[in-house]
Amino acid sequence: MKEIFFSNLPAGIAVIGLVLYFFGMAVVFITNPIKNAESFAVKPVDNAGKTEIRVYYGGISFALGAFLLYLTLALKTPVYSLVGGLFFATTVLVTRTIFLCVDKGWKCPYTKLAIPAESAFVIALWVCFYLSKTMY
């Protein structure tokens, strides 16, 4: 398995980061959904809402991390998983930016953390993608 991730080091590092991020998000939202969702400015109205937080923030995060790991191992290269992570992360950032304008959410505390953090994450992934193409 090490050989696969080291076959293209920038892509391998990016995919390891993506998998750890998604698995971490899964653990956080499955184990303590209400507290963590509220820090994302999301609040369930009842117990079904609590389940939805576990499912969509936790379950889907786990599935994305597992899929990127599977894809890397099945294709014996981390490059395609990096591309998948780029699609996901870039789409989230662009959609968030557009709808912050539409919804006028720029002054919300979560936004002040999310935009710089997501921007740095997306830039790092694009740098890894560029390096994976130019170095290998």
Tell me what the mean pLDDT of segment 23-42 comes to.
93
**Alpha carbons 40 and 96: distance in angstroms, whole number:** 13
DSSP assignments along 1-53, one per residue? -HHHHHTTHHHHHHHHHHHHHHHHHHHHHHHSHHHHHHHTT---SSHHHHHHI
b or e along 5-27 (b: 16 or more beta carbons within 10 Å of the residue's beta carbon)?
beebebbbbbbbbbbebbbebbe
pLDDT of 39 strictly over 90: no
Q: What is the pTM of this model?
A: 0.89
Locate 106 and state its tokens: 């720029």
89-110 pLDDT, tens digit per residue, is: 999 999 999 999 999 988 888 8
Locate 55 and state its tokens: 């499912």
Residue 108's pLDDT is 87
pLDDT of 136 strictly over 90: no
Tell me what the mean pLDDT of segment 12-35 comes to.
96
Residue 1's pLDDT is 84
45-103 pLDDT, tens digit per residue, is: 999 999 999 999 999 999 999 999 999 999 999 999 999 999 999 999 999 999 999 99
Residue 129's pLDDT is 97
pLDDT of 40 strictly over 90: no
How confident is the prediction for the chain on average, in pLDDT? 95
Nearest to 40 by CA among 26, 53, 21, 59: 53
Angle at 14 between CA 126 and CA 23, to 5 degrees: 125
